[in-house]
Amino acid sequence: MRYDYLIVGAGLFGAVFAHEMAAKGKNVLVIDKREHVAGNIYTENKLGINVHKFGAHIFHTSDKEVWDYVCRFADFNNYINSPVAVYKDELYNLPFNMNTFSKMWGIRTPDEARAIIQKQADEEIARMKKEKGTEEFTPDNLEEQALSLAGRDIYEKLVKGYTEKQWGRDCKELPSFIIRRLPMRFIYDNNYFNDRYQGIPMGGYTALIEKLLLIGSEGEKPFLSGSIKVMTGTDYYDFVKLEGNVPAEPFESVNKDQFGKILFTGMIDEFFGYKLGTLEYRSLKFETEELPEVDNYQGNAVVNYTEREIPYTRIIEHKHFEYGQGKGTVITREYPANWKHGDEPYYPMNDEKNNTLYAKYTELAKECPKVLFGGRLGQYKYYNMDQVVRASLDMVQEESK
Ligand code: FAD
């Protein structure tokens, strides 16, 4: 069979693209090297709970078109992300807001909070100027930046340890631009995101992706005029080697007889055999524990651990994403990790060095007009899910011109 598109990656980008192309009457083949669809938003059922296997995922957006689009494929609940931070034996609400400040300093009004933050920040700036012997203050690293924005208490209790664990480096060794601002709210509002729409798809993200890919929907109407075939457990690089598929060179990979074009949502540098160099990522390790005898482990879906001495950054209790009741719970500890070849590349490191290298790969990609690069790995961008949907829909539109 001839396919109009070979889509590498059954994550959110690939699934939206596949669905929209099938709606336009195209035949697409979707392959993924993992044994399941949904990429990093994959949820699996354990103890009757949808477990976010690759980290907590909360859908949030202000893009109404994207929101309306995803709501066609899932019912979203009214979950609002309101994480809690644990520092030693103290508990604080996030993001930094009046609940946080009130707990930290025993105050009630926004004016009191602003005055304390300003006073602490001014003290730090004065101290650093004195130490540097300068009149003007320019932060030389992330620690100096954060202290000048938020003062000592917030930095020590809520920023320092967490950031150091995330980046695997001391805040004094991290560049100041990582924290340009520290968003603070002077209202009593624990809603982490500022977006207009937010929620979790009831029944899990995997079901949403399956619906996009028409998995399990045989016989349902209305059907799309094109078709989608999905093959999991299929690595692109093995696939292209199969006789009769495509030429052996991965980056010359469109065989006109079999595939019109390729959409590649894996790592762009890997696609080109790393010939210009290797893009860097941060990785994560997840430790998931099933607790069949416990109904409520921590009382919140997301609890951050802000001390450096505790090796994980957060514990997720999955049932709270969907207001789960009853016995049994599942928790996941999330550990930041350095990335090396073979590890899962979770976060692109969008610093100058890596962005410059990525720009060179995009130049190289122009030599392969039949290959499109999409998604977090193909476009080397730290996309949120709504941005992935937007970018995928935009690519479909571009392709349809
Ligand atoms: P992916 O989901 O990575 O899909 C790419 C697919 O390509 C994968 O399935 C992979 O197996 C496959 N693939 C790669 N190479 C090959 C190959 N050679 N052959 C075959 N298949 C291949 N976003 C939010 O909006 N809200 C959140 O709360 C949120 N939390 C996050 C938490 C964590 C820990 C992480 C890492 C990300 C989070 N995100 C969040 C971002 C979100 O995960 C991404 O926006 C989204 O998953 C990206 O989709 P994608 O299709 O681009 O990539």
* pLDDT for residue 1: 78
Is residue 42 within 8 A of residue 65, CB to CB? The reply is: no
**Residue owning the nearest CA to atom 16 of ligand 1:** 266
* pLDDT for residue 53: 97
- Whose structure tokens read 């979770």? 346
Query: Which whole number is the average pLDDT over 346-368?
Result: 93
pTM comes to 0.95
> How many angstroms is it from 388 CA to the middle of ligand 1?
9
Kindly give the number of the ligand 1 atom that is closest to the alpha carbon of 81: 28
Kindly give the number of the ligand 1 atom that is closest to the alpha carbon of 37: 9
Kindly give the number of the ligand 1 atom that is closest to the alpha carbon of 57: 28
* pLDDT for residue 145: 96
Span 59-109, pLDDT tens digits: 999 999 999 999 999 999 999 999 999 999 999 999 999 999 999 999 999
**Residue owning the nearest CA to atom 14 of ligand 1:** 266
Q: Is the CB of 36 under 6 A from ligand 1?
A: no
The 10 Å CB-count burial string (b at 16+, else e) for 19-58 is: bbbbeeebbbbbbbbbebbbbbbbbeebbebbbbbbebbb
Which value, to the nearest 10 degrees, does the dihedral of the CA atoms of residues 233, 238, 241, 243 take? -30
pLDDT at 23 over 80: yes
Q: Is the CB of 385 under 6 A from ligand 1?
A: yes
| Six token digits for residue 191 | 């809603």
* pLDDT for residue 181: 83
> How many angstroms is it from 231 CA to the middle of ligand 1?
17
Q: How far, in Å, are 86, 98, 193, 337 from residue 161 at the CA level?
A: 11, 22, 22, 15
> How many angstroms is it from 54 CA to the middle of ligand 1?
9
Domain boundaries, the chain: 2-37+213-275+349-399, 101-178
| Six token digits for residue 120 | 């602490």
pLDDT at 243 over 70: no
> How many angstroms is it from 272 CA to the middle of ligand 1?
20
Least confident of 248-252, 268-272, 280-284, 305-309: 248-252
Query: Which whole number is the average pLDDT over 36-55?
Result: 97
> How many angstroms is it from 103 CA to the middle of ligand 1?
36
Q: Is the CB of 237 under 6 A from ligand 1?
A: yes
pLDDT at 352 over 80: yes
Q: Is the CB of 6 under 6 A from ligand 1?
A: no
Share of the chain above pLDDT 70, in %: 95
**Residue owning the nearest CA to atom 29 of ligand 1:** 57
* pLDDT for residue 252: 58
pLDDT at 35 over 70: yes
CATH 3.40.640.10 at 2-37+213-275+349-399, yes or no: no
Span 284-317, pLDDT tens digits: 999 999 999 999 999 999 999 999 999 999 999 9
160 vs 7: CA distance, rounded Å: 41
* pLDDT for residue 311: 96
Q: Is the CB of 200 under 6 A from ligand 1?
A: no
Alpha helices in 171-322 (DSSP H): 205-212, 236-239, 268-271
Query: Which whole number is the average pLDDT over 261-284?
Result: 94
pLDDT at 371 over 90: yes
Q: Is the CB of 320 under 6 A from ligand 1?
A: no
**Residue owning the nearest CA to atom 18 of ligand 1:** 236
Q: Which residue has the higher pLDDT, 350 or 157?
A: 157
pLDDT at 158 over 80: yes
How many Cα atoms within 13 Å fall on the side-chain side of residue 57? 27
* pLDDT for residue 202: 95
> How many angstroms is it from 227 CA to the middle of ligand 1?
24
* pLDDT for residue 159: 97
* pLDDT for residue 221: 52
**Residue owning the nearest CA to atom 52 of ligand 1:** 375
Is residue 14 within 8 A of residue 375, CB to CB? The reply is: yes
Q: Is the CB of 263 under 6 A from ligand 1?
A: no
pLDDT at 339 over 70: yes
* pLDDT for residue 225: 84
